[in-house]
Amino acid sequence: MVNLKFWEVTKLEDNHKLIGTTWVFKTKQNPLYDKKEYKACLCTQGFTQLPGIDFKKNYAPTGRLNSLQTLFVFAATNNLQFHQLDVKSAFLNAPLTEDVYLSIPQGLNICQQSHCLNLRKALYGLRQAPLAWYDFLKEWLTSVAFQFCIPDPCVFFRSNELSTWIYLHVDNMGVFDLGEASLMIGIKITQDEGLISLDQQHFMESLLEQYGMMDCRPFPTPLVTIEHLLLATSDEVTKLKSLKINFRSAIGSIKYISSSTRPDLSFEVSTLSNTLNDRAYGTGMPSCMYYTILKAHRIWGSTTLQTFPKG
């Protein structure tokens, strides 16, 4: 941040509205989900910003999944290769148009009582940061003859001797070439001549590990017909909470799988999603847990990959 001239240390004035900061420590999986990277990220407390005062606009587009799937089909049909680029500290490249002042973060040897930081570029947590990053990247891409698609402004293309298409997903400019695309938004990509295969096996395994079902036995069917969803009693709701299982989160993850690579699970996900508000149960063990396990088993037992063949 210091090398990028990310902020300017200035004296604290009475008219300066300070935005707090916090350090976020997280782990990031590598493409094979077998190693973790430990990262620290300085974030702003953007929830204290007021619309119309601290920022004007904050909506920023992000790439649609069906746009990515369309590009997979286009690449396979025309025997093109997918490559992946990682933008290092993306937000830190986008300049700000508003005056934003931060309190001194922990770890900086600057007097907090008399000084503050005047931000020059966007920072994680700012309400306007995603839009600032998108506008910055869009301006640069259009300056080198790229055009954006009207239906999806996160898809850029340039037609010349070597046609290039760009799908922008992460809002989150050293650029690292990661080579041939292998993992994107939880989807493993395998490329061959005229064929692109997609699977989410590693993502599915991480879900099973998260919900303690790594030793589960696969079921041949995604739903059972003898079980009916009933409205949960207060005691059953308490029991579910005590198990610390977020049913909505589990179904949301499986819904993402169904929309990405497993459309055959759409009906089952839709059925389970109808009862999210009521935390529905069946007789005996909670059905919301039971069906979640069945869903995970159904996914675990499948080895079929979603493919996009040439033609």
pLDDT at 147: 92
d(CA 162, CA 148): 17
Tell me the Ramachandran region of residue 186: left when phi exceeds 0, alpha when psi lies from -120 to 50, beta otherwise.
Answer: left
pLDDT at 156: 93
d(CA 72, CA 196): 7
DSSP β-ladder status, 115-119 and 101-102 = antiparallel
d(CA 202, CA 241): 27
Grouping H, G, I as helix, E, B as strand and the rest as coil, residue 291 is helix
Question: Hey, how many other C-beta atoms are within 10 angstroms of the C-beta on 193?
Answer: 8
Q: Is 203 exposed, middle or buried (0-12, 13-18, 19+ CB in 10 A)?
A: buried
CA count, 13 A, side-chain hemisphere, 263: 5
DSSP letter at 33 equals S
The token duo for 34 is 């077998």
DSSP β-ladder status, 18-19 and 101-102 = parallel
Grouping H, G, I as helix, E, B as strand and the rest as coil, residue 137 is helix
pLDDT at 301: 42
Grouping H, G, I as helix, E, B as strand and the rest as coil, residue 12 is coil
Nearest alpha carbon to residue 7 among 70, 92, 112: 92
d(CA 293, CA 291): 5
pLDDT at 236: 67
Diameter over CA atoms, the chain: 70
b or e along 52-63 (b: 16 or more beta carbons within 10 Å of the residue's beta carbon)? eebbeebebbeb
DSSP string over 53-106: TTBS--------HHHHHHHHHHHHHTT---EEEEETTGGGGSBPSS--EEPPPT
For the chain (311 residues), the mean pLDDT of every run of 10, in chain order, is 75 84 80 71 87 83 87 84 72 80 83 82 87 88 90 89 81 47 76 78 77 66 60 68 70 83 80 65 41 45 42 43
* pTM of full prediction above 0.95: no
- HEC string of 161-181 equals CCCEEEECCCCCCCEEEEEEC
The residue assigned the tokens 């920072």 is: 123
pLDDT at 58: 81
DSSP letter at 250 equals H
